[in-house]
Amino acid sequence: MSASSSAGVRGRIEAVERLIRIQDEGAFAGLVGRAGLPKDVERVATAFVGNVTRWKRWLDHLAETCYRGEYRSLEPAVRELLRVGTYDLAVAGTAPHAAVHQAVEAARLHVRPGAGKLVNAVLRALDRKKPWLSFEDDGSADALAVRWSHPTWMVKRWLRRFGVDDTRALLMWNNRPPAYSVRVAAERGDLERFLEEEHVPWRSSRWLDDYVQVDRLQPLVRAGWIQRGDAVVQDESAGLIVRLVDAQAGETIVDACAAPGGKSRYLIERMDRSGRLIAIDASASRLRLLEDMPGPIERVAADFRDWASSHQGMADRVLVDAPCTGLGVLAGRADLRWRRSPEDFAQLAPLQRELMDAAAGVVRPGGLFVYSTCSIAPEENELQAEAFLERHAGFEAESALDSVPDKLVTDAGHLATLPQRDGIDGAFGARFRRLG
């Protein structure tokens, strides 16, 4: 077995183990790595974990057409290897001989020789029949959900709101190969020259002048750009929320749900590192991610709702980046679509309201409160903003037009991004000015 083939087999075995952990233990797809693996094995495993997790409904549909038996009764390792092999054949376009051989070898070594025979039979049948070529995507919720591997309830929501074409575009976006948004915290010209010298494809952001999009992060990591903080991996949608806050030097600003700290870091930069930033999060362990952040930052491990009661009227600006369903960031969170349910909206709504009400007390008269989510669901966004104004007569909505591109501003004056339209994560931001 060649070195590359060996890495492919080992990577597939490692991917199967991680996929089973994700299924059984709820481990997030981005957090199940194992130290000490060779880089080529880790690269193969990481790619399969993300891609199989995203595409598993489509992969199961295809594999079931060629398995004579109860597919869902297969032992987990065999089922995951069939998903891996089916992904190779139907999505990645891997040469059939290589796709089948490496999946069979992984089954033979990781499970038992008989499992290799089963995997071989199913994948060879798949390669012969190629059912992905004859599948009819007729625009129905069920067909779209299977073909683009999403929960049917989610697709139905989007069909009602966006129609067939936009929904299909959103589903395709959520499954796209990763591209990385990078905020330039150093001299932009230096970064551009580095990317050109390293032959890293890059594009300027459509929306923010201090962002670029790159296809590969490793050159930036190896050269220390990320470690030094000269380049920060952060989606433009998050940067737009910070622009909405419009932090000024010398102000007191509260980031109410701060961890893991990406928006806090950008806020400090926008403040010219002068003033006072209070970063609050209920998770002390997640708040530790902000420990090495330079600048005038105070870290508070507390529930913002409790903290707010003793800090009334003290902040110039308050940002509540509220816990939400995350339906705008499914492209980067491979497992999230399978962990959400229609009941989540009702469960999260009271927390969102309570955080907004707490922020209303913390912001000073004349100050600004920004509510944001990484969701594209109206009940977490526009409807929450409307309800806040009904509860708080001492606030008025303030348009986002002076802070973000007008193409991203709704008729009501809120920031709203849509992945399929704007090419970035979905997000929402509403500004409220306290009167007086």
pLDDT confidence of 112, banded at 50, 70, 90?
Answer: very high
Residue 42, pLDDT > 70, answer yes
**421 C-beta neighbours (distance < 10 Å), count:** 16
Q: Over the chain, what is the mean pLDDT?
A: 95
Q: What would the mean pLDDT of 280-284 be, rounded to a whole number?
A: 95
**Quick check: 374 and 324 in contact, CB under 8 A?**
yes
pLDDT confidence of 186, banded at 50, 70, 90?
Answer: confident
Q: What would the mean pLDDT of 272-291 be, rounded to a whole number?
A: 93
CA distance 62 to 155: 20
First to last CA, the chain: 75
Point out the least confidently predicted range of 13-27, 98-112, 130-144, 314-328. 13-27
Q: What would the mean pLDDT of 45-71 be, rounded to a whole number?
A: 96
- Report which of 426, 293, 433 is spatially closest to residue 372, judged by C-alpha positions: 426
CA distance 85 to 6: 16
**276 Cβ neighbours under 8 A, 6+ residues apart:** 251, 252, 253, 296, 298
**Quick check: 407 and 206 in contact, CB under 8 A?**
no
CA distance 410 to 429: 10
Cα dihedral value 347, 351, 352, 357, nearest 10? 150
**Quick check: 376 and 428 in contact, CB under 8 A?**
yes
Q: Which two tokens stand for residue 421?
A: 């339209």
**Quick check: 262 and 238 in contact, CB under 8 A?**
yes
Q: Which two tokens stand for residue 68?
A: 């004579």
% of the chain exceeding 90 in pLDDT: 90
pLDDT digits (tens, 9 = 90+) for 333-386: 999 999 999 999 999 999 999 999 999 999 999 999 999 999 999 999 999 999
The predicted pLDDT at position 29 comes to 62
Residue 28, pLDDT > 90, answer no
Paired with 276 in beta bridges are 252
List domains and CATH numbers for the chain. 3-133 (1.10.940.10), 141-174 (no CATH), 180-233 (3.30.70.1170), 237-434 (3.40.50.150)
The predicted pLDDT at position 30 comes to 63
Residue 422, pLDDT > 60, answer yes
Q: Which amino acid is at 212?
A: V
CA distance 244 to 429: 7
pLDDT digits (tens, 9 = 90+) for 209-261: 999 999 999 999 999 999 998 999 999 999 999 999 999 999 999 999 999 99
Name the DSSP class of 89. Answer: I
